[in-house]
Amino acid sequence: MPITHITRRERFSAAHKLAKEEWSDEQNMEVFGKCSNPNWHGHNYQLFVTVKGETEPSTGFVVDLSALGDLIKERVISKMDHKNLNLDVDFMKGKMTSTENIAIAIWDQLYEPIKSLGAELHKIMLQETENNYVEYYGE
Amino acid sequence: MPITHITRRERFSAAHKLAKEEWSDEQNMEVFGKCSNPNWHGHNYQLFVTVKGETEPSTGFVVDLSALGDLIKERVISKMDHKNLNLDVDFMKGKMTSTENIAIAIWDQLYEPIKSLGAELHKIMLQETENNYVEYYGE
Amino acid sequence: MPITHITRRERFSAAHKLAKEEWSDEQNMEVFGKCSNPNWHGHNYQLFVTVKGETEPSTGFVVDLSALGDLIKERVISKMDHKNLNLDVDFMKGKMTSTENIAIAIWDQLYEPIKSLGAELHKIMLQETENNYVEYYGE
Amino acid sequence: MPITHITRRERFSAAHKLAKEEWSDEQNMEVFGKCSNPNWHGHNYQLFVTVKGETEPSTGFVVDLSALGDLIKERVISKMDHKNLNLDVDFMKGKMTSTENIAIAIWDQLYEPIKSLGAELHKIMLQETENNYVEYYGE
Amino acid sequence: MPITHITRRERFSAAHKLAKEEWSDEQNMEVFGKCSNPNWHGHNYQLFVTVKGETEPSTGFVVDLSALGDLIKERVISKMDHKNLNLDVDFMKGKMTSTENIAIAIWDQLYEPIKSLGAELHKIMLQETENNYVEYYGE
Amino acid sequence: MPITHITRRERFSAAHKLAKEEWSDEQNMEVFGKCSNPNWHGHNYQLFVTVKGETEPSTGFVVDLSALGDLIKERVISKMDHKNLNLDVDFMKGKMTSTENIAIAIWDQLYEPIKSLGAELHKIMLQETENNYVEYYGE
């Protein structure tokens, strides 16, 4: 059967900052600039989850998109939307909340569950603003 | 010569449904949900056709984009725009009109004709709604 | 209190056609062009509902956006999404499903219920494709 | 001279929450839902500032757009971008940070300074997410 | 009959500059900045033409959108697309090609012809970049 | 350390034409169509620069996005924005200004400087209009 990639977009709005707790505000400002604002800032993140697999002949689906959407909502969106990524999200604890690290952490949240849908996670794409996004392929 | 990928977007608005003729409406609703509505629904599809090749030194082109656009219009858009994908499109006959299957069928429509333009089809990307799209590389 | 306008976007994907039942396919094609395809076509509609009112001092809201969203889903989206606008929608029965007429019908669906939220419907904006949209102010 | 409206878009990413300090977290959650998350959340706000005026014959301008952009950056963006709207912004102190209230406060920040550019502020449009935006005309 | 507004988008890609011929490059640079680059620059303009009228009962249309599109293409797009707005466009001769002036000139091109379609031109909206646009209502 | 791709978008508005100097206007029109308009035309180009690398553990960054943005502005945007790509840009001299060639030339401008930021250029994506874009991977 032909192999296709299918992508589902979900969104979340969250607060975060880039700062090391052991550094002073001045040191953080020097390295992370305005992203280290002590009182936080935030974004409308767009998350694109791409899975890969053979199309199932009777449905023409790689994966049931609605089941994939539910899984992303359960494992990621419900934990990140309208939250503080540094303080409220269990799987970000102790990590810098750079877009790179968030994308990697979302991969880890979704990789096994997507297998149980019969498909394979191919890529996490996470867009922080209209001017930047990160892609992670599990490498 | 350097190898580049160039992508042309075209659009079509079409009706379709996801349903097996041999199943009852209830069975179809159970598997395909609202996508199986007996009286059809529809989308504004966005089609992105990516071709790959060496840039021709005298023009700087991989392919004449306007010729590529005409070919896509002739082979795909004229047959799908303002049509019913299940009933009106010869190359979808007997197939589930999932986004995956439509993308694969469009690949088959375009692969050989694009060769005759001196380029190679690399990817079909088909976006059904702002929340989902399929990519097919002919694998 | 200051008066502001707040707009909520919702989306629905639907099939429709522009055709008079009492006309032949040829007559319909002459007047309505490809929009009259007998087997239907469809769109991803974007609906923007704008309400107007004084901001309530304790909340800073004109209206509870989430209640407004629920109301639009109940009165409009649940009846139009993944449906056939000509056949499946009670409040479009017997009407041409032009973007103009759909916008007017949605206004009528929402005007009174929005009043009961304590706000006033100001505008319905309905986008059929990226190249056209209709605005209706209840005039 | 003809009267035109010209609009400049600027953007800011900020944290905020909707909550009354004198209420418990539970009370706030009941009224403001997920927007009251105690540890904040955030958005990529898009701000559209529309000014109105006669076009100046020798330049064809209503206003020098680059001067307008600088003014918006100085009076609004530099104070809101990568900040906490509840804690860091002097002109939001003591106010609910609803989109409505932010738009009204931005109007007050810009009304007089835009006059000194020889134009008249006509509208503030502030988009919080792709699903909602507020318009304020100074009424 | 209800009155609706319907908008048609068309696009054109064009070169231009903002500069007075009787001034030196230095003087133009001082007033118009980088927009005065002697060798031109250019944009992908988006034109939104809004017409207003009663919906015609038998069709549900304010105006035949396809006829409106043809008219805009004939009177505006064919003269501006892939052209130099200062040198190639008859109806811009001797005018500063500010977005304001282009919008006003397009209004003048379309006002009477749209009347002959049985509708009334309501607004020209012209977007030069994603950060700025002009609206003109014929005032 | 995990390998991620991060992309930065920058924009420039420029004039250009596709034409061979040694050909007549008629010959150029025959091969390049409206893109050969002697008096130029122009576009709002969107440039997406993707770099690839290991995320640095203490920051969570592949590269300092703000430094990457500055580098793109210095090496590309300052030379192309509000310029004529055929006449004003040193690194395009003597080349056809096809989207393919511009993307390749931008790669050459950025490849070594990005190395000095500790990352590796992975892809240049250049969008000329909403209907076409080019990708170049340095092959």
Instruction: Give the pLDDT mean for E85-93.
Output: 98
Q: Is the Cβ pair A8, B33 closer than 8 Å?
A: no
Q: What gap in Å lies between CA C85 and CA C82, rounded to an integer?
A: 9
Chain D positions touching E31 (Cβ under 8 A) are 59
pLDDT-derived band at A116 (thresholds 50, 70, 90) equals very high
Q: For A46, phi and psi rounded to 5 degrees?
A: -115, 125
Closest CA to D15 of D76, D84, D92: D84
Closest Cα of chain C to E71: distance in Å? 15
Q: What is the CA radius of gyration of chain B?
A: 17
The per-residue pLDDT string of chain C (139 residues; one tens digit each, 9 = 90 and over) reads 999 999 999 999 999 999 999 999 999 999 999 999 999 999 999 999 999 999 998 899 999 999 999 999 999 999 999 999 999 999 999 999 999 999 999 999 999 999 999 999 999 999 999 999 999 999 9
Instruction: State the chains in contact with D (3 or more Cβ–Cβ pairs under 8 Å).
Output: A, C, E
Closest CA to B45 of B125, B136, B138: B125
Facing A60 at nearest CB: one of B33, B101, B130 = B101
Q: Is the Cβ pair B100, A55 closer than 8 Å?
A: yes
pLDDT digits (tens, 9 = 90+) for D65-81: 999 999 999 999 999 99
State the DSSP H helix or E strand holding residue F69, giving kind and residue range, or none if neither: helix F65-72
Helix, strand, coil share of chain F (percent; to 5): 35, 35, 30
Instruction: State the chains in contact with F (3 or more Cβ–Cβ pairs under 8 Å).
Output: A, B, E
Q: Is the Cβ pair A5, B101 closer than 8 Å?
A: no
pLDDT of residue C71: 98
Closest Cα of chain E to F78: distance in Å? 10
pLDDT of residue B10: 98
Chain A positions touching B133 (Cβ under 8 A) are 6-7
DSSP tag of E55? P
pLDDT of residue D49: 98
- Predicted TM-score (pTM) above 0.90: yes
Q: Is the Cβ pair E81, F41 closer than 8 Å?
A: yes
The C-alpha angle D112, D116, D121, rounded to 5 degrees, equals 50
Residue in chain D lying closest to C49 (CA)? D132
Q: Is D22 a catalytic residue?
A: no
In this prediction the ipTM stands at 0.96
- Give the pairing of strands C83-84 and C3-16: parallel
Residue in chain C lying closest to D21 (CA)? C58
Q: What gap in Å lies between CA D114 and CA D8, rounded to an integer?
A: 12
pLDDT of residue F2: 96
Q: Is the Cβ pair A130, F2 closer than 8 Å?
A: no
Chain F positions touching A18 (Cβ under 8 A) are 59-60
Contacting residues for E85 by C-beta, under 8 A, at least 6 apart:
E14, E15, E16, E92, E97, E102
Q: Is the Cβ pair F60, A18 closer than 8 Å?
A: yes
Window 20-59 of B, Cβ < 8 Å to F: 50, 55, 58-59
CB-based contact B24:B30 (threshold 8 Å): no
Facing B41 at nearest CB: one of C11, C83, C129 = C83
Q: For C26, phi and psi rounded to 5 degrees?
A: -65, -45
Chain B positions touching C88 (Cβ under 8 A) are 37, 39
pLDDT digits (tens, 9 = 90+) for A128-137: 999 999 999 9
Burial class (CB in 10 A: 0-12, 13-18, 19+), C89: buried
pLDDT of residue E11: 98
pLDDT digits (tens, 9 = 90+) for E97-111: 999 999 999 999 999
Provide the token pair at A19: 């700062």
- Give the pairing of strands F132-136 and F120-129: antiparallel
Q: What gap in Å lies between CA F92 and CA B36, rounded to an integer?
A: 54
pLDDT of residue F78: 98
Residue in chain F lying closest to A126 (CA)? F6
CB-based contact F19:F28 (threshold 8 Å): yes
